Amino acid sequence: MTWTPDQPIVSIHNVQKSFGALEVLKGISMDIMKGEVICIIGPSGSGKSTLIRCINALNDIQGGSITVEGQEVHDDNLDQLELRKKVGMVFQQYNLFPHKTALQNVMMAPLKVLKQNRADVEQRARALLKKVRLEGKENNYPGELSGGQQQRVAIARSLAMNPDVMLFDEVTAALDPETVKEVLVTIKDLAAEGMTCILVTHEMGFARELADHIYFTDKGVIVEHGPPATFFDNAQDPRTREFLSQVL
């Protein structure tokens, strides 16, 4: 089956995941179309992060299926590199390589993994750093950058692989309130360009403004989902209402 853009770019169907005896995901399903921005919210321990880590095979699953552009992710014969090129991921703790400068961090994967030409890669990396508003910080090491700046380098680093889908795992959770905004602006720019974004977030205002669809998870299941307007103003499930009353 070849994938066409009118089909979901990421399709999650009845996914089950457990760590030992602990069942974390109990049958989660969602379809995400190209260019959509999806926010997954929910109390801690509800399996949000686990879910998006499953999308790029950082975690394995025990049941169900996840496809990206029609390609089954949890398949033993999967070409890992093909998946990595399609799906980029940004982590809560940035996870930049501390022994490389910002520019080198962005250039590393295209150079070493995709074996692209150095001059082209460098040109693209500089453009990406400019795009995340970090012009002039190319030669700084991650230790010399603020949390928000590091997180934007991490976003640029993922973008350097030209992914079709970006996963954001609580990317602002470790940041100061002032620097949260600069990272969110970067994500907003990306979304405006039509990048498919899947975010796990606690930034309700951001989710409301930017998301096309919001999923609320609790205890490993999707309790409720819908477009932001209906979700925030007209939540049906008591669990959703309780959660929203606490965070809003």
Partner 1 sequence: MRASFYPKTRSTPPVKGALPVLLPYRSPQATQLSLHEKLFNGWTVLALMLGFAWIMVQQVWAQSGAAQQASVPDILLKWTPVLLKGFGFNVLISILSMAIGTVLGVGLGILQVSPVTATRRTAWLITQFFRNSPWLVLLFYCILLIPFEISVFGLDIPFPGWVKAVIGLSLPVMAYMSEYMRGAILSIPSGQWESADSLGFTRGQTMREVILPQTVKRLAPSWMNLYAVLTMATPLVSIVGVSDVMTLTRSALAAESRVDLLIPMYLYILSWFFIYCYPISRLTVRLERKFAVKL
Cβ closer to partner 1: 60 or 176? Answer: 60
Q: Which of 99, 118, 130, 241 binds partner 1 (CB under 8 A)?
A: 99
Is-contact 231 222, C-beta < 8 A?
Answer: no
Residue 107 or 235: the one with the smaller Cβ distance to partner 1 is 107
Q: Which is nearer to partner 1, 143 or 238 (CB)?
A: 143
| Residues in 130-159 at the binding interface with partner 1, rule: CB under 8 A | 143, 154, 157-158
Alpha-carbon distance of 247 to 234, in angstroms, equals: 15
Q: Site size for partner 1, by CB under 8 A?
A: 29
For the beta sheet containing 37-41, the strands, ordered from the edge strand earlier in sequence to the opposite edge, are: 87-90, 165-169, 196-200, 37-41, 213-218, 221-226
164 close to 86: Cβ distance less than 8 angstroms: yes
Residue range at the interface with partner 1 (CB under 8 A); choices 23-31, 81-89, 186-194, 235-243: 81-89
Q: Which range of residues in 62-70, 108-116, 223-231, 236-244 is near partner 1 by CB under 8 A? A: 108-116
- How many other CB atoms sit within 10 Å of the CB of residue 60? 10
With CB under 8 A as the contact rule, the residue among 10, 12, 38, 57 that binds partner 1 is 57
**120-156 CB burial, b ≥16 within 10 A, e <16:** ebbebbbebbebbebeebbebbbeebebbbbbbbbbb
Distance between CA atoms of residues 147 and 94, nearest Å: 8
Q: Does the protein bind partner 1 through residue 172 (CB under 8 A)?
A: no
Tell me the C-alpha distance between 155 and 157, whole Å: 5
The span from the CA of 160 to the CA of 96, in Å, is: 14
Residue 10 contacts partner 1 per CB under 8 A: no
201 touches partner 1 by CB under 8 A: no
Q: Which is nearer to partner 1, 89 or 207 (CB)?
A: 89
* Interface with partner 1 (CB under 8 A), residue from 14, 29, 62, 80: 80
190 or 214: CB nearest partner 1? 190
Q: Would you say 61 or 134 has its CB closer to partner 1?
A: 61
DSSP 8-state code for residue 14: E
Residue 202 in contact with partner 1, rule: CB under 8 A: no
Nearest-angstrom CA–CA distance, 48 and 224? 14
Beta bridge partners of 150: none
| By the rule CB under 8 A, 241 interacts with partner 1 | no
85 binds partner 1 (CB under 8 A): yes
Which positions touch partner 1 (CB under 8 A)?
Answer: 56-60, 80-81, 84-85, 87-89, 91, 93, 95-99, 108-109, 112-114, 143, 154, 157-158, 161
